Amino acid sequence: MLRIGICDDNSEARFALRSSLERITERRSIETVIYEFSSGENTLKWLHSRAGETDILFLDIEMSGIDGMETARKIRQTDSTLVIIFVTGYSDYVFDGYSVNALDYIMKPASSERLDAVLTRALGALHIQTDDIFICKNSDGTYRIPKSSIIYFSSDKRVITCHSKDRDYSFYDRLDNVAEDVGSSFIRIHQRYLVNAKEVKRLSGDEVSLDKIILPVSRAYRQSAASALARSLMEEK
């Protein structure tokens, strides 16, 4: 399912954009849910409380309160993967979008052809980002979590908890499956723990230090964990 957010303080503009997007995604047979926000403040609150639940954000630049550009800057402080597309009535802001890694911009009113083309680019960007994000699902929804924000995974029977820099996400799976999904940048140190190699501050004996977090390293994984960490450090150089 494609999750799209529309942030605009003008209700008529939100309705027009939503209607166009619904027609395009229906024509393409893309299952879509669209969220509407009337301000940058509301958008930021949603993205903070429902992190990873939005794939694409159409963001108006000229808004009262926090404008679109400042909203985008705040988003980028915690989320590097959300696809941001600016919507504006003025071409003056076009180049400002590069500073927040916006994918594109749309001039108001957006034509169906232009919107279709931008959506195609956005879908392509989401596909490319697949290697940089971890996707998990639970009863609350589906989350797209940047791998760079994940500190470690823990397992308690069949319940996996993803401990990120922003919040924790719990879901049902096996840690073996998670390890396969996230790839070699994560190191198995224990039957119950899988850590982001870039977050490891120290590995000594039977424990690993992740800044203020200390986790045990089991005897079964001690040698492989040390080797994997050494490879990771070499790759960074």
Same domain, 109 and 155: no
| Spacing of C-alpha 5 from chain mean position | 14
Which pair of structure tokens corresponds to residue 51?
């992190």
| Whether this model's pTM surpasses 0.85 | no
User: Do the Cβ atoms of 8 and 34 come closer than 8 Å?
Assistant: no
Sheet holding 202-204, edge to edge: 202-204, 207-210, 213-216
Residue 236's pLDDT is 59
Residue 130's pLDDT is 61
Q: How many Å is the Cα radius of gyration of the chain?
A: 20
The domain total for the chain is 2
User: Do the Cβ atoms of 152 and 169 come closer than 8 Å?
Assistant: no
pLDDT means per 10 residues, the chain with 237 residues, are: 92 93 92 94 89 88 89 85 85 61 85 91 75 80 82 94 91 93 90 93 87 90 85 63
Residue 23's pLDDT is 94
Domain of 150, CATH number, reads 2.40.50.1020
Residue 179's pLDDT is 93
**Amino acid (one-letter) located at 210:** L
Q: Which domain holds residue 155?
A: 139-236
- What is the spatial distance between Cα 136 and Cα 181, in angstroms, rounded to a whole number? 10
Which pair of structure tokens corresponds to residue 204?
């000594």
Same domain, 120 and 9: yes
Domain of 89, CATH number, reads 3.40.50.2300
Same domain, 61 and 156: no
